Amino acid sequence: MNELMMLVRRILSLLATLGIAIATPACGQPSPEQQRNAMVDDIARMARALSRNTGKDELDERVLRAMAKVPRHEFVPEAFRARAYENRPLPIGEGQTISQPFIVALMTDLAGVDADSVVLEIGTGSGYQAAILAELAARVHTIEIVEPLGRRAAETLERLGYDNVFVRIGDGYRGWPEAAPFDAIVVTAAPDEVPRPLLEQLAPRGRLVIPVGAPGAVQSLRLIEKDAEGRLTERDVLPVAFVPFTRETR
């Protein structure tokens, strides 16, 4: 090692001893964790602002903790990483989007999952919503109709250690009969009408959260609850804009 290197090392170690951090390329940038906390604050603010629509001032604390934990930047394309913690949807390729974090939090809250819940998601997309659900539930089954997206999401989820998420490529209209009934079903693409198989695969006391409406128009985020006797009630929670629910594997 030449003398100059030795000198540099000695200075660095001296600075370190004095507790002075050496500038890194990320210096001045908030860490992903700090960015996530800011995102969660924004979600909580938005929840309060929309409480007249949603009927709730505050989202479940466990949901907010999951939002503060899951690394959303791992689920967005490289080109959008720097914007991963903005409270907005982002493109994920194939003409699809990862939903706005507030909407992910709201839908998860409405789904009312707990540690014993078995959950079905239709519209895996990036896999982010599935990861949030997987933080709270026992198992998450998720179906994606666009094969490359489903494959990529499965890889991301596996890499991050989500071994309680099961990804299937196909048309979610038919649900996942072998894994039914589900305590919660979350649909993240908008059909014109609620697919009947999903209602059938909902467990007693289960909850289905789904945007319903014509493609391209503003849809309505609907919460459908099945009581212990199998009776259904529904409530329109909020106007939303989701990508269309399609019916053919690409």
Instruction: Kindly give the residue spans of alpha helices, DSSP state H, lying in 137-227.
Output: 147-159, 196-200
For the segment 166-195, give every residue that binds ligand SAH (CB under 6 A). Answer: 171-173, 188-189
- In whole angstroms, what is the distance from residue 183 CA to residue 185 CA? 7
> Which of 140, 146, 167, 180 touches ligand SAH (CB under 6 A)?
146
SS3 content of the chain, % helix, strand, coil (to 5): 40, 25, 35
The answer to whether residues 69 and 85 touch, using CB atoms and an 8 Å cutoff, is: no
- Annotate each residue in 80-119 with x if it binds ligand SAH (CB under 6 A) or - if it does not, as one string: ----------------xxxx--------------------
The answer to whether residues 165 and 127 touch, using CB atoms and an 8 Å cutoff, is: yes
Number of residues near ligand SAH (by CB under 6 A):
24
User: Which CB atom, from 155 or from 227, has the smaller least distance to ligand SAH?
Assistant: 155
Rounded to the nearest 10 degrees, how much is the dihedral formed by the CA atoms of 123, 108, 195, 97? -30
User: Which CB atom, from 74 or from 234, has the smaller least distance to ligand SAH?
Assistant: 74
Partners of 1 in the β-ladder: none
User: What is the set of active-site residues?
Assistant: 99
> Which of 67, 144, 165, 213 touches ligand SAH (CB under 6 A)?
144
> Which of 59, 140, 143, 165 touches ligand SAH (CB under 6 A)?
143
User: Which CB atom, from 85 or from 128, has the smaller least distance to ligand SAH?
Assistant: 128
The distance of closest approach from Cβ of residue 193 to ligand SAH in the complex, given in angstroms and rounded to an integer, is 13
Cα distances (angstroms) measured from residue 17 to each of 2, 20, 132: 23, 7, 40
Interacting residue ranges for ligand SAH, rule: CB under 6 A: 96-99, 122-123, 125-126, 128-129, 143-146, 149, 171-173, 188-189, 243, 245-247
